[in-house]
Amino acid sequence: MVFAPSAGERPISHPALRSQFGRNARNCIWSFPAHFHTSPPPFVFYMHIHRDAIVTNNSEVYHGNIKLVLDACHANTRAKVPLNVDQMTLYDEVFVIAQYWGTEVFHRMVEIMPRVVFYREFLHNNPEIRIVAPEPPGGRLSELFRIIGVDDTRLVVGPVRAKVVYQPRSSKCGFANVQES
């Protein structure tokens, strides 16, 4: 028996479903509504690059009169600049991976490490870039960095200031991005 999608719905064409239902997965009873994406986006990843910015311990970035808060487990949208900006350590370049609950096992393994691995070559090619992380060197994150071949002594904990900030996209809380997983 072959099922056609209902009016206004598009058939599923995800590779995992094709392997589960065979070649005719488009003809199964499951389908997404028409407003769902039915083709891949025009890009697969992005990275915000800021100049002369402040980075908090949860990867919120203040740059000029803008505060960029990526969609993650915690969204502090208050625009108040952190205290003691002049006393924060200033780095030339930082790569931001810290996030709310980033020291917890699940968030470290499912949300942080897949993003780090995705940019591993970038980090290898730029050893001078410090990494704003949820914990200092010597913790569990350091062990994982050593496994993937990234020097864990580059880890710093925010808030910090930097001349250049590389801020990759975040992960939704509890959901790794497809490209990084």
**Pairing of the two strands 160-168 and 47-55:** antiparallel
In this structure, are 128 and 146 located in the same domain? yes
Please give the Cα distance from 20 to 46 (Å, whole number): 31
* Number of domains within the chain: 2
Asked if 57 and 25 sit in the same domain, the reply is no
- Are both 71 and 102 inside the same structural domain? yes
Q: Are residues 58 and 118 in the same domain?
A: yes
Structural domain that includes position 31: 1-39
- Whether residue 139 sits in one domain with residue 122: yes
- Whether 84 and 32 map to the same domain: the answer is no
Amino acid, res. 26? R
Q: What is the pLDDT along the chain (181 residues), one digit of tens a residue?
A: 344 444 554 444 444 444 444 444 444 445 555 555 556 556 566 788 999 999 998 888 998 888 887 776 677 777 788 888 999 999 999 999 988 877 888 878 878 888 888 899 999 999 999 999 999 999 999 999 999 999 999 999 989 999 999 998 777 776 666 665 5
Same domain, 10 and 89: no
CA angle 176, 144, 127 (to 5 degrees): 100
What phi and psi values does residue 145 have, to the nearest 5 degrees? -65, -40
| Residues 95, 156: Cα–Cα separation, whole Å | 10
